[in-house]
């Protein structure tokens, strides 16, 4: 289901699939995220087939779900439902307030942009093992983790041993 978000200054449509996209899950948890994405995208002109960007909104917009970890943190790895990749989680940590919104757009065959993902917080590299994995993915994810707040995970996938 394509939900229109905004038209770029050049007239390209930006939309989100509110059922199947990664952005859909984040928007479902934080509905005001869609408004923040609209505010950012009405001011910029995306360039290229894949756009990865973060925007400082100049005000607190919510809580970042990813934090830098230390050796004293309790870390676990697990797969989220329907996700073949392992996600790194930190237990007993509090998400910090942030002024940043991160957005990933992908140009479609008609020349418009689909909102592939969006979240509150800094831009981060793709997780290790993903199709978009970058050279900085593993080093970043060995020092950062999602704050574990009771997210559903595949029980048999939970481990303290780094799978990557």
Q: In the chain, what is the straight-line distance between the N-terminal and C-terminal CA atoms, in Å? A: 34
**pLDDT at residue 73, rounded to an integer:** 97
Does 5 or 25 have the greater pLDDT score?
A: 5
Strand 74-79 versus strand 86-91 pairing type: antiparallel
**pLDDT at residue 8, rounded to an integer:** 87
- Give the model confidence (pLDDT) of 27-82 as tens digits: 998 999 999 999 999 988 999 999 999 999 999 999 999 999 999 999 999 999 98
**pLDDT at residue 88, rounded to an integer:** 98
β-partners of residue 3 are 16
**pLDDT at residue 24, rounded to an integer:** 92
pLDDT at 10 over 90: no
- Give the model confidence (pLDDT) of 97-141 as tens digits: 999 999 999 999 999 999 999 999 999 999 999 998 999 999 999
33 touches 25 (CB < 8 A): no
DSSP assignment of 62-107: EE-SEEE--TTSEEEEEEPTT--SEEEEEES--PPEESEEEEEEEE
Q: Which structure tokens are listed for 20?
A: 């199947």
For CA atoms 104, 16, 119, 134, the dihedral sign is negative
- Give the model confidence (pLDDT) of 129-152 as tens digits: 999 899 999 999 999 999 999 999
**pLDDT at residue 117, rounded to an integer:** 96
b (16+ CB within 10 A) / e for 54-70:
ebeeeeebbebbbbebe
Q: Which structure tokens are listed for 121?
A: 């917080």
Residues 6+ apart with CB under 8 A from 42: 6
Does 1 or 52 have the greater pLDDT score?
A: 52
Domain segments of the chain: what residues?
A: 2-157
Q: Residue 12: helix, strand or coil by DSSP?
A: coil
pLDDT at 96 over 90: yes
**pLDDT at residue 55, rounded to an integer:** 97
């Amino acid at each position: 289901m394509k939900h229109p978000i905004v038209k770029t200054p050049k007239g390209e449509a930006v939309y989100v699939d509110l059922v199947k996209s990664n952005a859909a899950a984040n928007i479902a948890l934080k509905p005001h995220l869609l408004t923040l994405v609209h505010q950012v995208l009405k001011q910029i002109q995306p360039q290229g087939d894949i756009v990865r960007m973060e925007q400082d909104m100049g005000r607190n917009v919510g809580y970042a779900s990813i934090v830098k970890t230390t050796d004293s943190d309790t870390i676990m790895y697990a797969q989220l439902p329907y996700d073949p990749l392992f996600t790194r989680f930190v237990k007993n940590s509090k998400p910090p307030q942030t002024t940043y919104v991160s957005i990933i757009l992908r140009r479609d065959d008609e020349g418009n942009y689909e909102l592939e993902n969006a979240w509150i917080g800094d831009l981060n590299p793709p997780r290790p093992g993903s199709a978009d994995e970058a050279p900085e993915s593993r080093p970043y994810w060995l020092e950062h983790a999602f704050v574990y707040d009771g997210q559903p995970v595949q029980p048999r996938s939970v481990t303290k041993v780094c799978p990557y």
